[in-house]
Amino acid sequence: MADSIISRGQGIAPAETQSSIFLQIGIVQTALLRVLDSPLSRCTELDYRSYVEKGTQSIVGRLLNASQDTLFPLDRLSLGRGLLLDYTGDHDNKTVKSALDALRRSIDLQPENQYSGLWYFTYPNWSYLDGMYSYASFYSLYTTFFNPTVTNKTTDDIIYQLDLLWAHCFDNSTGLLFHGYDASKTAVWANPATGASPVVWDRALGWYFMALVDWLEINGFECLSTQWEHVHARFVAIANGIVKAADPVSGAWWQALNFPEREGNYIESSGSAMFVYGLYKGIRLGYLRSSDQRYKNTADKAYAYLTNTFVVKNQNGTLDWNGTVSVCSLNSSATYEYYVTQPLLFNSVHGSASFVLASLEHEIQVF
Ligand SMILES: *[C@@H]1O[C@H](CO)[C@@H](O)[C@H](O)[C@H]1NC(C)=O
Ligand SMILES: *[C@@H]1O[C@H](CO)[C@@H](O)[C@H](O)[C@H]1NC(C)=O
Ligand SMILES: *[C@@H]1O[C@H](CO)[C@@H](O)[C@H](O)[C@H]1NC(C)=O
Ligand SMILES: *[C@@H]1O[C@H](CO)[C@@H](O)[C@H](O)[C@H]1NC(C)=O
Ligand SMILES: *[C@@H]1O[C@H](CO)[C@@H](O)[C@H](O)[C@H]1NC(C)=O
Ligand SMILES: *[C@@H]1O[C@H](CO)[C@@H](O)[C@H](O)[C@H]1NC(C)=O
Ligand SMILES: *[C@@H]1O[C@H](CO)[C@@H](O)[C@H](O)[C@H]1NC(C)=O
Ligand SMILES: *[C@@H]1O[C@H](CO)[C@@H](O)[C@H](O)[C@H]1NC(C)=O
């Protein structure tokens, strides 16, 4: 699938780009770099590293002004991994270093709501789960690499943002988190008490779940700190909610998780791949108890369903990926009907790259 993503030229910015390109490049680069870091790197034939560099080159020029960076969604921070790789390969590259610094500064310049919650994008006072995937990893990696004396502050900042979303978006009925919240509670969809939007969207929760497991890994050396334990407890709580929410028939997850089996709802492929990745990774790293068979059984069943249902094998040997919903925005009615009527995309990297991540964890468990 990774080779197929490359054969389609995905993860490189076209000349005319929209702000959704940042996360697309970021998730492709993350998937390719994870393959390179794994035992499976011995089996790759294409030059993933050069491909990641090419993706970075296609976008780096747009990142150099920190205040302008804040006009893009928090997803921009997902480009940090590829930049960091370039930087470690060539310490003298000033362009790469300025992009990294501008991204880091842009976190401090990001507009905040009344609780100091980072806006996800241009919408005043709205915070989404989605942004945490890019934010938590980048902030943590940047600090570890360039600024290790302020690790505590960075950790506190990250946990504050994660907790704020938890406090506002927690759904009592599923134990999972709604897509986002409006701190000013004026959006048409805002819950009058919490500001939360009404749908637990599988992909938004998928980004947040991956943010937690990746943060736990990056900060794993601190594994006895109370901060680490706190994030770990949250990760386990979501994992338990995800296990409960799995569709008993397919084993995978609904687009609108808090309306299972409702008319129009369907099994969505990107969020499902993200959950499989998080569950397998949690087991491999010991964050989920391996004596508890529910985690592995759930991941195994869902993984088999994903490969049988959404992977399309072509005669030329490439693989396509089906069943990924396009962008679902809170700049909408954000109703159940909205979420289940957004178009499905073929070969969306939000799904295919997440499937690469899930597959990598699956293969490592098998070996
Ligand atoms: C620095 O990195 C950028 C982005 O990857 C690249 O376009 C540029 O050629 C590099 N500069 C040098 C001197 O290597
Ligand atoms: C950076 O972007 C801001 C906001 O768009 C602009 O006001 C400023 O002039 C830019 N700075 C530079 C050095 O280009
Ligand atoms: C956003 O929140 C601030 C308070 O932090 C408030 O003054 C402002 O009116 C809010 N904006 C909107 C569009 O609700
Ligand atoms: C960092 O946090 C840990 C645990 O929370 C604490 O023991 C330590 O003193 C803190 N270090 C600094 C420099 O604040
Ligand atoms: C969940 O339940 C708690 C305690 O019963 C309540 O305070 C909170 O407002 C509820 N949250 C939502 C989103 O309904
Ligand atoms: C492989 O086949 C698929 C499906 O026919 C096609 O879309 C794709 O362009 C082909 N890729 C290559 C590299 O030939
Ligand atoms: C992709 O999924 C759609 C919707 O389920 C289905 O109609 C279509 O046949 C699938 N495409 C392929 C190539 O399997
Ligand atoms: C938000 O939605 C409105 C109405 O559909 C649209 O005009 C506007 O361009 C959207 N904002 C963004 C930033 O996409």
367 — pLDDT class (breaks 50, 70, 90): low
Q: From CA 305, how far away is CA 276, in angstroms rounded?
A: 11
78 CA to centre of ligand 7 in angstroms: 30
> How many structural domains are present in the chain?
1
For the chain, counts of helices (H) and of strands (E): 14, 8
Which of residues 224 and 342 earns the better pLDDT score? 342
72 — pLDDT class (breaks 50, 70, 90): very high
Q: Is the CB of 329 under 6 A from ligand 4?
A: no
* Total residue count of the chain as it appears in this document: 367
Examine the pLDDT at 223 and tell me if it is beyond 70. no
Query: Where does ligand 7 bind, in terms of residues with CB under 6 Å?
Result: 312, 322-323, 344
Q: Do the beta carbons of residue 197 and residue 264 sit within 8 Å?
A: no
Any idea which ligand is nearest the CA of 127? 3
Q: Is the CB of 314 under 6 A from ligand 8?
A: no
Any idea which ligand is nearest the CA of 312? 7
From 313, 322, 325, 342, the mutation candidate for ligand 7 (largest count of ligand atoms within 8 A of CB) is: 322
DSSP states of 90-135 as a string?
-TT-HHHHHHHHHHHHHHHHS-B-TTSPBPSSSSTTEEESTHHHHH
Q: For position 344, what pLDDT does the model report?
A: 98
Give the position, in ligand 3's atom list, of the atom nearest the Cα of 125: 1
pTM: 0.96
Give the position, in ligand 5's atom list, of the atom nearest the Cα of 196: 13
Closest by CA position to 211, among listed 255, 257, 158: 158
Q: Do the beta carbons of residue 179 and residue 328 sit within 8 Å?
A: yes
Q: For position 365, what pLDDT does the model report?
A: 78
Q: Is the CB of 314 under 6 A from ligand 3?
A: no
Its domain, for residue 100, covers: 2-366
197 CA to centre of ligand 5 in angstroms: 14
Give the pLDDT confidence of 105-115 residue by residue, as tens digits.
999 999 999 99
Average the pLDDT over 231-241 and give the result: 98
From 110, 112, 114, the mutation candidate for ligand 3 (largest count of ligand atoms within 8 A of CB) is: 114
Average the pLDDT over 223-241 and give the result: 93
Any idea which ligand is nearest the CA of 66? 2
Q: Domain holding 30: CATH number? A: 1.50.10.10
Q: From CA 39, how far away is CA 329, in angstroms rounded?
A: 37
Residue nearest to atom 12 of ligand 1 (CA): 93
Q: What percent of the chain has pLDDT over 70?
A: 99
